[in-house]
Structure 1
Amino acid sequence: MARSLVDLLTAHASQQPAATAYRYLVTGDGDGEVQDITYARLARRSRAVAAWLQDRGLAGARAVLLYPPGIEFICGYLGCLSAGVVAVPGVPPQGRSQNHRALIRTKRLIADADATVVLGGREVLAALNAMAEHLPELAGITCVATEDIPDEAADAWHEPDLAADQVAFLQYTSGSTSAPRGVMVTHGNLLDNERIITERMGHTPDAIAEHRGEMFVSWLPVYHDMGLIGPVLNTVYLGVTATLFSPLHFLQQPGRWLDAVTRYRPHTSGGPNFAYELCLKHATPELLDGLELSSWKVAFNGAEPVRAATLRRFADTFGPAGFRRETSYPCYGLAETTLMVTGGSVAAPPVLVDAAAGGPHEGEADAAAVGCGRPGPDTTVVIADPERQEELPEGEVGEIWVAGASVAKGYWRNALATRETFRATLKDRPDRFLRTGDLGFLRDGELFVTGRLKDLMVIDGRNHYPQDLELSAEMSHWALRPGCTAAFSVDGGTAGEQPVVVAELSPEAAGESEKITDLIRSAIGRAHGLPVRDIVLVHPGTIPKTSSGKIQRHASREAYLAGTLSVLDAAALG
């Protein structure tokens, strides 16, 4: 029985050495340059990196990984696991506009993880070296471009003794409501969550055979848990093939994602809700004519609120290209549970409910709540009242708590936060639960996520979820960018808490700012019975988001109060 992903990589390299593990589309296009790596080569390169680390006595140390998109990151990551070194995936500098943000995050990672080595690509490390004066944290830290480690180093590799509770890597959370924390994910956590992903997403031997081993297409960033634990590590867990390309190439031309699905016919591919919206925005007749999506079985949608309107429009728009409604696969997970907690049933359409009228019932409304599936095997999900430490009855909204072998060990060097988040208990139950900080309810075993506990707005004694206001705002005018709106409340003095909406607006509609502001105000008033204190329209790409694309509402609120938002057409808004 495999004790770690390292054991599985060794088995695949022995049993199917010539099979392709990963292919990487260098330009994002299937007809462009393609790099690939077999299981034999992947094992040898990983062992070369591992041997280099072992030779320097770094077992148990932390290694920050800073790579551009590509296969070399995977070799570096698996090299760390193969050496018993704790991998710390980081966000590499990606051009001038990203350097400041990446620099701050890199400083934080190196310092918080107490890293002793940085592994990366040549160009990334050269960029870091150029910023050395701003990175005193690099003093005394060894930096190595792993592509410069020769294959022959693998001959000195010795298999580490890896225990299930040994930390494999630190996954730094995206920090949508707080400063990022390093989640300690163990080798046992990884194996359990890969088992859950395999079961929930229907990655059976028959499915693998039907798809000729082509199981994934992914543009997701590999430093984020959705891109890493899903497409990258489930591939090596199963011994199948994944096609990868850069997130930047997807953002430049969203159609590349669907072209890759057409070309390679994977079983599974997905991303956050905004990715499906981007595809819809670029769904020209020319794109649709060239697509064949009938082999796509699982189009997972998670990491941010899943919107019923997006699911419906995507299925309607791409149905002529073979996409089926039941392929849409809402799911729920978080770094603290390694990744996946719940997922839908393969070949069944998403479950929608409308909780607006006296309790949940089946609904097709665009604003309906979307079910995120059922817990994976041996995973327990309860809805709790954290103050009373009591489990709530079905249909009642409370905090989502999770227990199971995928729940991580805790936060790196943060005993207080670990105790508060990972050690929750319910009255009359011995289990220890993870407090997710997310709100939701259960219905017939299906989980519905309604929002973040810290984002909840209480106005005039009523609870309002910011994503509901954001959706109403975005649907009021075509020029409001999907997934680029932040709603939050501010102190209105004697009037109490009042909502504010900040929304990114396409520049071509800047002359209609006043009209759009009125439409947003009217839409929120009709749908939620709320007067909006302020509406701010800002330049595209300026609303604070996490590395995975989640809206940072607290940061947006702080920027609003500080007057630092990048306001579009301020005169018209005056």
Structure 2
Amino acid sequence: MLLDAGTVAEALVERARREPAAVAFYLPDEPEPDRRITVADLLARAHAAGAALVAAGVTPGARVCLCLETSAPLLAGLFGAALAGAVPSVLEPPLTAGRREIWLERVRHIVAVARPAVLVCEEPLRATVEAALEGTDVTVISPPFAPGAVAEPVLSAPPDEAAFMQFTSGTTGAAKGIVLSHRAVFASAAAIGAGGPFLADDVMVSWLPLHHDMGMIGGTLSPFLLSLPSVLIRPMAFGSKPDRWLRLIHEYRGTLSPAPNFAYRLVTAVARRTDLSGLDLSCWRTAFNGAEVVDAATLHDFIDLTARYGFRPEHLRPCYGMAEVGLAATFSPAGTAPRVELLSRSAITEGRAEPSASDEDAHPYVSCGVPVPGIKIRVVDDTGLDVGDGRVGRILVAAESMMTGYIENPEAGPVLDLRDGWLDTGDLGFQLGGELFVTGRHKDLVILAGRNYQPQSFELAAEKVAGVRPGGAAAVGVPDPASGTERLVMVVETVHHRDPGLSAATADEVGAVVARRTGVRPARVVMVPPRTLPKTSSGKLQRSRVAARVAAGTIG
């Protein structure tokens, strides 16, 4: 049941008064005494972090960037900022030394957008961050936080006042700050709790990063506001040993655990060659699958693998959402196996959801379910008119948990462009019998393992390579059944197309330069002759046509 509070700070104080000994978070990978944090302990740690933020210059309404791994200090900083009345956001730390410069570019961009008073990072990164932010008014501090207390904790605030900022997972220049009000944070938690439904004895298990909405809102804040414990580990712990996810659910008797589609594919592949004897997943009641287009083969393979360990098909729940509404928009109905409809791929591209006349044209489309409480969904054509059941169109959402706006231009402030209260998600889909099916994106975003990337950054990097024509690079995401996610494919026009050896060398160089400049290596680089890429009459690249030709094997 959602706490009767108006702010996260008030919820923390109320829980500490009511159930101080209840476990708020388990952190299995942390050293003692950080592995088990009670609500009372969390309040004390939040006071210490909040006092450090105030001493560094944070005032009510100021913004704070927390650049820390999933850890006790990150949780202390998050709740400490709330006690100080500040607006926190989480920024991922660099995963490797080789990615540090890319990470610093993102830090500079987010600082320019968010204009925080304080940035918190680990001590080994502090000097580097301070040098990168020289000339700004940002104070950089590091944990551990000395014992202390926020003298005047801010426990109440107007419902529409900013409570939290979530940055999108795009590349450096594309990251947008999404502002959620206190009302939106609580409305999102209420929607998730009711749509689950989340029960009084539930336990959340999550390895998702807290700079992502599924990790922060879904795995961390919502369970806390619903008085449930969360088991949190770092994303790299999952990446290096995916079966650890399943073992944690077994060990802590986890009942709730969400992940993107690629994670279910990855853990299935690893589990098939790993000894999982003794594993019991019968406790896992809700396994949300979202953050990217859900793949029917992934659902089938995961269910087939985990059935022997007690997992039931109806507990795998495809879903759909976005940071702009806090997190959740639709959940597949509880108690039913995932709904998959075998439809005509060609008809879908023409805007119709109908059965296929041939096996070659048939494609399984997965339902993402029905709107959670407080959310409304429409599918419309380009003029804004509803298209009706079984017709593909643009997905619009209206929500009680709607964001206040984006912060992209520090001078302009938050901006939210709604049409009669409806937000265009940029996604395409259709409805059948009240359930939503997502087919792709109207926008040109490339989604890799649940992260959104603007294609322009990849294309600009490719054009730096000698032999690549200016304006002659296209970056597209192409579904990869083997991994359950998309793969980045670069289609590049080159003057070397008649020389196979030189063309291959150019392709290798494109892959290396794109990886170095963006942190993402293309799965494939296709070299094509000049003037191959389809463009509009005004010269605009038609990436959707490029992606379709790559998928069909008719280019390169």
Give every structure 1 segment of 4 or more consecutive aligned residues whose post-TM-superposition deviation is greater than 3 Å.
51-57, 130-135, 357-363, 413-419, 487-492, 534-547, 555-558
Does the 8 Å CA contact 2:105/2:172 hold for their aligned counterparts? no
Instruction: Give the alignment of 1:334-373 within 5 angstroms.
Output: 334-356=322-344, 359-360=353-354, 367-373=363-369
- In structure 2, C-alpha distance between the alignment counterparts of 1:161 and 1:488, rounded to whole Å: 50
Alignment correspondent of 1:107: 108
Do structure 1's residue 470 and structure 2's residue 458 form an aligned pair? Answer: no
1:318 Cα deviation (Å)?
Answer: 1.4
Alignment correspondent of 1:127: 125
Alignment correspondent of 2:397: 402
Alignment correspondent of 2:184: 189
Alignment correspondent of 2:141: 144
- State the SS of the aligned residue for 2:211: coil
- In structure 2, C-alpha distance between the alignment counterparts of 1:400 and 1:489, rounded to whole Å: 29
Alignment correspondent of 1:566: none
Does the 8 Å CA contact 1:5/1:236 hold for their aligned counterparts? no
Does the 8 Å CA contact 1:91/1:105 hold for their aligned counterparts? no
Residue number among 306, 313, 316 corresponding to 1:328 in the alignment: 316
Percent identical pairs in the alignment equals: 31
Structure with the largest fraction of helix: 1
Alignment correspondent of 2:439: 450
Q: Which moved more, 1:19-28 or 1:310-319?
A: 19-28
- State the SS of the aligned residue for 1:13: helix
- In structure 2, C-alpha distance between the alignment counterparts of 1:245 and 1:556, rounded to whole Å: 35
Alignment correspondent of 2:162: 167
Does the 8 Å CA contact 2:285/2:315 hold for their aligned counterparts? yes
Alignment correspondent of 2:193: 198
Does the 8 Å CA contact 1:353/1:362 hold for their aligned counterparts? no
Residue number among 406, 419, 423 corresponding to 1:411 in the alignment: 406
Residue number among 386, 391, 400 corresponding to 2:386 in the alignment: 391
Across the two proteins, how many residue pairs are aligned to each other?
479
- In structure 2, C-alpha distance between the alignment counterparts of 1:87 and 1:129, rounded to whole Å: 22
State the AA in 2 paired with 1:194: A
- In structure 1, C-alpha distance between the alignment counterparts of 2:196 and 2:231, rounded to whole Å: 18
Do structure 1's residue 49 and structure 2's residue 49 form an aligned pair? Answer: yes
State the AA in 1 paired with 2:424: R
- In structure 1, C-alpha distance between the alignment counterparts of 2:513 and 2:69, rounded to whole Å: 21
Per the alignment, do residues 68 and 176 of structure 1 end up closer, same or farther by CA in structure 2, a change over 3 Å counting?
closer
Do structure 1's residue 486 and structure 2's residue 488 form an aligned pair? Answer: yes
Does the 8 Å CA contact 1:332/1:372 hold for their aligned counterparts? yes
- State the SS of the aligned residue for 1:268: coil
Does the 8 Å CA contact 2:85/2:154 hold for their aligned counterparts? no
Does the 8 Å CA contact 2:119/2:141 hold for their aligned counterparts? yes
Does the 8 Å CA contact 1:177/1:552 hold for their aligned counterparts? no
Residue number among 264, 267, 281 corresponding to 1:279 in the alignment: 267
1:423 Cα deviation (Å)?
Answer: 1.3
- In structure 2, C-alpha distance between the alignment counterparts of 1:21 and 1:389, rounded to whole Å: 45
Does the 8 Å CA contact 1:485/1:543 hold for their aligned counterparts? no
Q: Deviations over 1:252-277 (max 9, x none)?
A: 11111111011111111121111111
Does the 8 Å CA contact 1:170/1:184 hold for their aligned counterparts? yes
Do structure 1's residue 7 and structure 2's residue 4 form an aligned pair? Answer: no
State the AA in 2 paired with 1:36: R
Q: Deviations over 1:504-554 (max 9, x none)?
A: xxxxxxxxxx9xxxxxxxxxxxxxxxxxxx99999899879999x9x999x
Residue number among 194, 219, 225 corresponding to 1:231 in the alignment: 219
Q: Which moved more, 1:158-167 or 1:266-275?
A: 158-167
Q: Deviations over 1:485-512 (max 9, x none)?
A: 23577899xxxxxxxxxxxxxxxxxxxx
Does the 8 Å CA contact 1:307/1:367 hold for their aligned counterparts? no
Q: Deviations over 1:438-480 (max 9, x none)?
A: 11111111111111102399xxxxxxxx76x523xx45xxxxx
Per the alignment, do residues 290 and 102 of structure 1 end up closer, same or farther by CA in structure 2, a change over 3 Å counting?
farther
Alignment correspondent of 1:531: none
Aligned-residue CA RMSD (Å): 3.8
Per the alignment, do residues 18 and 33 of structure 1 end up closer, same or farther by CA in structure 2, a change over 3 Å counting?
closer
State the AA in 1 paired with 2:267: C
Alignment correspondent of 2:285: 297
1:330 Cα deviation (Å)?
Answer: 0.7
Instruction: Give the alignment of 1:427-442 within 5 angstroms.
Output: 431-442=420-431
- In structure 2, C-alpha distance between the alignment counterparts of 1:234 and 1:541, rounded to whole Å: 40
Per the alignment, do residues 351 and 538 of structure 1 end up closer, same or farther by CA in structure 2, a change over 3 Å counting?
farther
Q: Deviations over 1:214-252 (max 9, x none)?
A: 511111111111100011112211112111111111111
Does the 8 Å CA contact 1:3/1:164 hold for their aligned counterparts? yes
| TM-score, with structure 1 as normaliser | 0.75
Does the 8 Å CA contact 1:51/1:157 hold for their aligned counterparts? no
Per the alignment, do residues 62 and 456 of structure 1 end up closer, same or farther by CA in structure 2, a change over 3 Å counting?
closer
Do structure 1's residue 18 and structure 2's residue 15 form an aligned pair? Answer: no
Alignment correspondent of 1:257: 245
- In structure 2, C-alpha distance between the alignment counterparts of 1:456 and 1:40, rounded to whole Å: 43
Q: Deviations over 1:316-359 (max 9, x none)?
A: 01111111111111111111111111111222111111221773
- In structure 1, C-alpha distance between the alignment counterparts of 2:445 and 2:19, rounded to whole Å: 51
1:67 Cα deviation (Å)?
Answer: 0.8
Does the 8 Å CA contact 2:64/2:117 hold for their aligned counterparts? yes
Does the 8 Å CA contact 2:73/2:144 hold for their aligned counterparts? yes
Segments of structure 1 that go 5 or more residues without pairing to the other structure are: 209-213, 425-430, 458-465, 476-480, 493-513, 515-533, 562-573
- In structure 1, C-alpha distance between the alignment counterparts of 2:58 and 2:16, rounded to whole Å: 26
Alignment correspondent of 1:69: 70
Residue number among 372, 382, 404 corresponding to 2:378 in the alignment: 382
State the AA in 1 paired with 2:488: A
- In structure 1, C-alpha distance between the alignment counterparts of 2:163 and 2:295, rounded to whole Å: 34
| TM-score, with structure 2 as normaliser | 0.77
Per the alignment, do residues 541 and 9 of structure 1 end up closer, same or farther by CA in structure 2, a change over 3 Å counting?
farther
Segments of structure 2 that go 5 or more residues without pairing to the other structure are: 447-475, 495-503, 531-555
State the AA in 2 paired with 1:438: D
Q: Deviations over 1:134-168 (max 9, x none)?
A: 4425x442222242231x324x2433431111111
1:204 Cα deviation (Å)?
Answer: 2.8
Alignment correspondent of 1:428: none
Does the 8 Å CA contact 2:281/2:310 hold for their aligned counterparts? yes
1:54 Cα deviation (Å)?
Answer: 4.3
- In structure 2, C-alpha distance between the alignment counterparts of 1:372 and 1:257, rounded to whole Å: 23
